[in-house]
Amino acid sequence: MSPNRRTEFISGARDTFPLIIGAIPFGLIYGAVAVANGIDPIVIMGLSLFVFAGSAQFIAVGLISQGAAFSIIVLTTFIVNLRHALYSASLAPYVSHLSQRWLLPLSFWLTDETYAVVISHYQREDKSPYKHWYYFGSAVSMYINWQLVTVVGIVAGQRLQNFAQLGLDFAMVVTFIGITMPLIKNRPMLICALSAGIVAVLTNGIPNKLGLIIAALAGILAGFTAETMNQQSAVLQEK
């Protein structure tokens, strides 16, 4: 059966489901930690509804609880979310034909998990004209899940003592490993991942999560260099 809007939407949601499972503990911890920091549940839900960025939300509630200036909160979360610019650049060749009616919501709903499944789907050689519906299915399923687990996390944080200290956040680390590994398909990608990982560990203590940006740039540079060397080697062999 040839793909259509419905089948693409369902496929996107289905392929994202394993990553949703990994994100559930992360969302629960977010809701519980925010409550423990004295943040109003309305603000907690507002961040999930209108920011929809797990790591940035964690940082934001921490800064809010510390009484940080609004400008500091915005700048810090902006830096943490700069990786989405890289995701967008990668997806741009596949979605540039879409109207703003599609691009605006899809850009808002772009997450690490959705990017991982969507970019792999776009890179397949089939000629389906409805791949943006696959993106839509993945994004909507992640968004709905995040809202639900935020609510559960808020309730758990209010009713259960020390819920935020259960260590459930380990699941997010496992999820990111699951996101990354299928994308490593050649040596330049492996070099990129290893370089970014090493630099991320070495720069972990830098304030405002700047180490993440440095690690991303280091990985891009290493991967680009490796790919350039591979191409030069191939040209020399042809000669």
Q: What is the pTM of this model?
A: 0.74
Give me the average pLDDT of each 10-residue run along the chain (239 residues): 87 92 83 84 92 84 80 80 85 94 94 91 88 96 95 86 62 66 81 90 80 82 87 71
**Helix ranges, 51-130 (H):** 54-65, 70-80, 83-95, 100-108, 112-122
Q: Are residues 129 and 152 in the same domain?
A: yes
Q: Are residues 155 and 214 in the same domain?
A: no
Q: Are residues 26 and 78 in the same domain?
A: yes
Q: Are residues 146 and 103 in the same domain?
A: yes
- Final residue belonging to a domain, choices 183, 204, 226: 183
Between the CA of residue 191 and those of 201, 205, 227, what are the distances in Å?
Answer: 15, 23, 10
Q: Are residues 155 and 191 in the same domain?
A: no
Q: CA 34 to CA 44: how far, in whole Å?
A: 7
Q: Are residues 204 and 94 in the same domain?
A: no
pLDDT at 77: 81
pLDDT at 195: 92
Domain that holds residue 209: 185-239
- Final residue belonging to a domain, choices 183, 202, 231: 183
Q: Are residues 98 and 134 in the same domain?
A: yes
Q: Are residues 217 and 129 in the same domain?
A: no
- Final residue belonging to a domain, choices 183, 212, 228: 183
Q: Are residues 66 and 109 in the same domain?
A: yes
Tell me which H or E stretch contains 190. helix 187-202
Q: Are residues 174 and 158 in the same domain?
A: yes
The number of folded domains in the chain is 2
